[in-house]
Structure 1
Amino acid sequence: MAGRTDDDWAAFIQQKISEVLSGTDIVKEAPLASISTPEDPRFPLAIDHTLLKQDAIPAQIEALCDEAIEFGFKSCCVNGLYVKSVVERLRNSQTIACCVVGFPLGAGSAESKAYEAQAAIKDGALEIDTVIPLGLLLSQPPRYADLFDHLQTMIRSSAPVPVKVILETGLIPSPELKVAACVIAAEAGAAFVKTSTGFASGTGATKEDVSLMYRSVRYKGNVKVKASGGVRSFDACKEMFAAGAERIGTSSGVSLIKKSVTTSGAY
C-alpha cells in the first residue's frame, strides 16, 4: 500500500467503510465469545496486566509482575523505563513484557517512536503498544498517506515483535473515521488495533467500538482487537469478547479473575 496518494486511500477506505457499515459483512462468532467464567484457561492469557501511571514506583511494578505470574496473565504492560526490570522479574514465567511507545499522545515523529520501540525491544519487550498520530486522521481532509507511512515506519522498525496500534476511539468522532483508522493500521502491519490509552478524558472501550473494529480488520485475516480503558468487571470482559476482542488491557486483572468490580479511575 506504500506510494498511495490520499485520493487512492480515500477510495480504498470508502470501499471498506461501505462493506463494514452496510451490514452485509457476515461476522462469525468472535474467537473468545465462548469464555463464560474467569476459570476458563483462555481468560488470563487474554489479559495485559497494566500499570502506566506516571507516578508508578518500582515496588508497584514488581507487584504487578508478581500478580501476573501468579494468575498467568499474557503480559505486563509498562512504560519503557521499567521494561528491563520487568523482563528480569518475569524470567522463567509464561508472562511477557509489553511496552507502550509514543504514549499516551502519539504525537511524536515516526522516527522517535521507532527508536523508542527498538530500545524497548533491546531491553526484552516482546510486544509494543503505540498510539496513532490522531491529528493526521482528523485533518480536513484526512492525511491518510502520511498516517500510513508513519505507522508503517514504526511497525517495520519493531519487526518481528508485534505492534498494537491504539486508536483512541473516544476522540474519533464518526464510525467512518474509526473504520479508516483500523484499515490504515491493518495495512501498515499492525498485529492488533486497540481502543484506548485510558488517559484521554471520558474515553474508553465500548462493545460497539470493539465490534466495529473487529469487523473493520477481519478482511486481513490476522489482525486482532484489544479492548482497553474502563474494562473493570468480568461481565465487561465478556461483552468485549463477544464483540470481537482477543485481548483486554487493564490494571484490574486480579479483581477480574476474582469476579469483583473495581472503583472508577482504574485503567
Structure 2
Amino acid sequence: MYGRDILSKVDHTLLKPDATWDAIKVLCDEAVAYKAASVCIPPNYVKRVADEYPDLVICTVVGFPLGYQTTEVKLAETRQALAEGATEIDMVIDVTDVKNGDYRKVTEEIRALKKACGTHVLKVIVEACYLTEAEKIAMCKAVTEAGADYIKTSTGFGTGGTTIKDVALFKEHIGAKVKIKAAGGIRMVEDMVAYLELGCSRIGASAAVGLLKNRLDDMV
C-alpha cells in the first residue's frame, strides 16, 4: 500500500475547539495537495470552506461531541451544513439512549438524519469507548437498519479512541452496505495500514498528511 493510497482514504481532520481560520486553510490546502478523501471540519467553517475550495469534499459533524442534542436539533444542524456546502455528515448518537436500552430511538434518529442527507454520505459515530460489546453489536444493527452509509468508531473526544478489536467486531455485525470509518487516536502509519487492511473504508486522522506527505510513492 502506497502512502498516497492511504491518504485517499483519509478524512483530514481538524475539530479542536480553538481551531482558527488560518489552521483550517492549512488543512484544506493540504487536503487538496495530497488528495485526501475529505476535510472534516467544525460546522461553523463549512460555508467559508465551500466558498474558497469549491472542489473539496467537505465533511462536518452533527451532535458533536457528546451526541445528546435532540433529534430536531441534529436535523437542523444537518440541513444547514448541507445547505452551506457539506456533502458528508458525521453524526454522534445519543449514548444515553443506548445505556437506557432504547435502541429503537437511536435507529429512528439515524434514519431521520439519513433521510435529511438523501444521497449525501452519513457516518454514524457510536463512541465505542462507552459501550459494552452487546451495545456495540446493537449499534451495528441500528446503523444497518437505518440505512446509514458508515459506522464510525469514535469522536476522538471520549475516554478512548478506535481499536482493532472494535473494528473487527463491527465488520462481523454490520450489513453488507455499511462501511467502517476508524477515528480517534490514530497517529501511526502502521495503524492506518492495519485499519485499512482490516476493512475500513475511511480513516479519520489529523496526523496522516504530516506522516505521509513525503512518502507518497513509498510502500508503507
TM-score with structure 2 setting the length: 0.93
Q: Look up the match of 1:90.
A: 53
Matched position secondary structure for 2:181: strand
- Match for residue 162 of structure 1 among 98, 103, 121: 121
- Match for residue 253 of structure 1 among 208, 213, 217: 208
Q: Look up the match of 2:156.
A: 198
Contact 1:137 1:144 in 2 (8 A): yes
- Give the Cα–Cα distance (whole angstroms) in 1 for the partners of residues 203 and 151 of structure 2: 12
Q: Look up the match of 2:191.
A: 236
Q: Which runs of 5+ in 1 are unaligned?
A: 1-35, 261-267
- Match for residue 178 of structure 2 among 217, 220, 223: 223
Shift of 1:136: 0.9
Q: Look up the match of 1:101.
A: 62
- Give the Cα–Cα distance (whole angstroms) in 1 for the partners of residues 196 and 40 of structure 2: 20
Contact 1:83 1:97 in 2 (8 A): yes
Q: Look up the match of 1:68.
A: 31
The residue identity in structure 1 corresponding to 2:138 is: A
The residue identity in structure 2 corresponding to 1:231 is: I
Contact 2:6 2:193 in 1 (8 A): no
Q: Look up the match of 2:75.
A: 114
Larger mean CA deviation between 81-90 and 119-128 belongs to 81-90
Which of 1 and 2 has greater Rg? 1
The residue identity in structure 2 corresponding to 1:169 is: A
Shift of 1:138: 1.1
Shift of 1:190: 0.9
Task: Report whether the alignment pairs 1:43 with 2:3.
Answer: no
- Give the Cα–Cα distance (whole angstroms) in 2 for the partners of residues 82 and 176 of structure 1: 37
Shift of 1:259: 7.5
The residue identity in structure 2 corresponding to 1:190 is: A
Deviation string, structure 1 residues 194-234 (Cα, Å, up to 9, x no partner): 00000013x001111111111111xx321100000011111
Contact 1:98 1:128 in 2 (8 A): yes
- Give the Cα–Cα distance (whole angstroms) in 2 for the partners of residues 45 and 199 of structure 1: 24
Show structure 1 runs of 4+ deviating over 3 A: none
Q: Look up the match of 2:140.
A: 182
Contact 1:97 1:126 in 2 (8 A): yes
Contact 2:15 2:40 in 1 (8 A): yes
Q: Which runs of 5+ in 2 are unaligned?
A: 216-220
- Give the Cα–Cα distance (whole angstroms) in 2 for the partners of residues 245 and 190 of structure 1: 15
TM-score with structure 1 setting the length: 0.77
- Give the Cα–Cα distance (whole angstroms) in 2 for the partners of residues 88 and 179 of structure 1: 40
Contact 2:7 2:209 in 1 (8 A): no
Matched position secondary structure for 1:77: strand
Q: Look up the match of 2:218.
A: none
Identity %: 36
Task: Report whether the alignment pairs 1:78 with 2:35.
Answer: no
Contact 1:234 1:259 in 2 (8 A): no
